Amino acid sequence: MDNYSIQPATQNDFPAIRALIHAVHINPTRLNWRRFMVARSYDGEILGCGQIKRHTDGSLELASIAVREQDRGRGIARAVIERLLAGEYQRPLYLICRARLGKLYERFGFRKIYFIEMPKYFQRLSRIERLINQASAEEDRLLIMRLD
């Protein structure tokens, strides 16, 4: 059994959350410790995190899923995601990931969606991503998914 627990973040966790998000090079905007779940080792270290954030169009996003490199492969991301999805959030939930990670999120019931199905926030991101990453390999492009 792994030596960590999943629990709501505290204000004191915020510097470690922010550092982890930067270390794994994912979107560092709109981080709010109140929305996070953290995987905490029994000696108090933050091993991983994730949040559900609300956008201005009312859509909810599973976001900021991050695990320290040295702690990957221990089921931490899965445990954080399961805890977040068990919360009483309205559906649908959306997420943005690299296309190569789509299969991972399909295990939780997410499915790829097309532009016409996206809330306005995700449509804007999709347009920007198409312009910026048009030369990228397909597996490195952004994928927008939905859980009903």
Q: pLDDT digit string (tens) for 2-22?
A: 799 999 999 999 999 999 999
Domain shared by 1 and 47, yes or no: yes
Domain shared by 18 and 84, yes or no: yes
Domain shared by 60 and 118, yes or no: no
Q: How many structural domains comprise the chain? A: 2
- Res 135: pLDDT: 67
Domain shared by 73 and 124, yes or no: no
Per the structure, the complete domain to which residue 85 belongs is given by 1-90
Domain shared by 110 and 49, yes or no: no
141 pLDDT band, cuts 50/70/90, is confident
pLDDT in tens, 23-71: 999 989 889 999 999 999 999 999 999 999 999 999 999 999 999 999 9
Domain shared by 4 and 59, yes or no: yes
Domain shared by 127 and 107, yes or no: yes
Name the percent of the chain lying above pLDDT 90. Answer: 82
CATH number for the domain harbouring residue 72: 3.40.630.30
Domain end position, chosen among 64, 90, 116: 90
CA quadruple 70, 52, 35, 121: dihedral positive or negative?
positive
